[in-house]
Amino acid sequence: MPELPEVEVSRMGISPHLVGQTIKTITWRAPKLRWPIPEELKQLEGQPITAIERRAKYLLLHTPAGTAVMHLGMSGSLRVLDALVTPNKHDHVDVQLTNGKVLRYNDPRRFGAWLWCAPGQSHDVLVNLGPEPLTDAFHAEQMAQRAQGKRSTVKQFIMDNRHVVGVGNIYACEALFQARIHPTKAVGTLKITQWNTLVGAIKQTLAAAIEQGGTTLKDFSQADGKPGYFKQSLAVYGRDGEPCIECGEPIQALKIGQRNTFYCDVCQIL
């Protein structure tokens, strides 16, 4: 599933081709993806694209008439192509521009979403989201305060969008390894020094993944069709049984909250 770095890479890839352009038509070839596609999206036709933002794992395509809220789901991807290129089987949404280009959304599993948000409003999916991890709003003191008295594992806590957005499974495993914190550690027991280390590790891990174009494990590719290269930098994720890059002991795996979790039992302190 595309996580925050992959969504940010997609935003960076499509923005130069879309911002400042005018939408000619918007069409969809399926009535619903994860949710029904709203007819209000037709209000985007004839509108200039003023900005493309990312909030958590959502992309927001802004126009004066309203905003298209996009989510890539498990297998979604966005391409900017010539409008004359014939759509493929799983090309479900087209945003055609007056310059002859088209933003095309492909999603084999149809777990993604295209939603509508009127000007000056916020969609329900964007309510109650925590701070963006690559901003100053995400810091150790805030996380320590939120975690006080909590018994959940630190991994589940940092993957909860109410506390901080966009720290998905891959990057939670990697950040916890970098911070030398065991993923099953009770979050309420972390000291402020550990939070400082972990917050820094999350920021560094996500920034490095964005710089390398995200992580391609199966479905994800960048807007130009290239894979993400952060997979080559993974220290623990998907490496169960392989030697730890620090101590040489085998990487361990377990499930936390139904998600595969990878860690080093020697390097990461419980």
Average pLDDT over residues 94-102: 98
CA distance 118 to 65: 7
Q: What is the pTM of this model?
A: 0.88
Give the pLDDT band of residue 232 (cuts 50, 70, 90). Answer: low
Cβ–Cβ under 8 Å, residues 143 and 163 = yes
Reduce the secondary structure of 122-149 to three states and give it as a string: CCHHHCCCCCCCCCCCCCHHHHHHHHCC
Give the pLDDT band of residue 211 (cuts 50, 70, 90). Answer: confident
Q: Which residues are annotated as a binding site for DNA?
A: 90, 109, 150
Same CATH fold, 140-263 and 4-126? Answer: no
The residues carrying an active-site annotation are 2-3, 57, 259
| pLDDT of 83 strictly over 90 | yes
Question: What residue ranges do the domains of the chain occupy?
Answer: 4-126, 140-263
Average pLDDT over residues 146-160: 97
Phi, psi of 42 (to 5 degrees): -60, -20
Class of domain 140-263: mainly alpha
Torsion angle (degrees, nearest 10) of CA 179, 73, 16, 65: -120
Q: What is the pLDDT of residue 121?
A: 92
| pLDDT of 79 strictly over 90 | yes
Tell me which of 3.20.190.10, 3.30.565.10, 3.40.309.10, 3.40.50.150 is the CATH number of domain 4-126.
3.20.190.10
Name every residue whose Cβ is closer than 8 Å to that of residue 19 and which is 6 or more positions away in sequence. Answer: 49, 50, 51, 52
The rounded percent of the chain whose pLDDT value lies above 90 is 84
